[in-house]
Structures are given as structure tokens and as C-alpha cells.
Amino acid sequence: MWRRAEETGAEVAVMMFHSSELMPGGSPYRPTSASIRDLHACLDWFFGYVRDSGGQFTGLTEAAHEIAGRPDLKVRTL
């Protein structure tokens, strides 16, 4: 997703998931503790990649305030 956002020149990218996806069995895609550890490793890599690519992180509330102050930003789905 991040590469696609970069390619399109997006100024904001949003990544969301339910907290239940972070516990074993909370999602059919992550049934075990080992699968959750794999997810954490994947997220660690992803966030490092984004940071190393110049991305910045913020919470949803802060992002909403930033976006509200920028009527020039266009919302699109990647």
C-alpha cells in the first residue's frame, strides 16, 4: 500500500484494522500466537520501511485535524 501511495503522490495514507486482528483467533487469518508474532514482525518491517522512506506517523484524530485544514487534499482509494 505504501508504495502505491508514493507512486500516486498521495500526501496521506491511512492504515486501519480491528484490534481483534491482533489477538490469536480474533481473525481467521491469525489463528495462533505464532501467526500474531508473524504479524508483529511484518508491521515492524512495514513501519520501518515507511519511516526510512520519509513517511511520518500520526493518530487518526490528528490526521483528521490536518486534513480538515487542507481542502486542497483529494481523497481517493488505492
Contact 33, 24 (CB under 8 A): yes
Class of residue 67 by CB neighbours under 10 A (exposed 0-12, middle 13-18, buried 19+): middle
To the nearest 10°, report the CA torsion of 5, 10, 12, 18. Answer: -30
14 lies in some domain: yes
Cell of 38: 508473524
User: What is the residue range of 31's domain?
Assistant: 2-68
pTM, 2 dp: 0.73
Domain count of the fold of the chain: 1
78 lies in some domain: no
8 lies in some domain: yes
74 lies in some domain: no
pLDDT tens-digit readout, 35-55:
999 999 999 999 999 999 888
28 lies in some domain: yes
Under DSSP, is residue 27 helix (H, G, I), strand (E, B) or coil? Answer: strand
| Mean pLDDT to the nearest integer, 19-30 | 92
To the nearest 10°, report the CA torsion of 35, 40, 44, 50. Answer: 80
24 lies in some domain: yes
77 lies in some domain: no
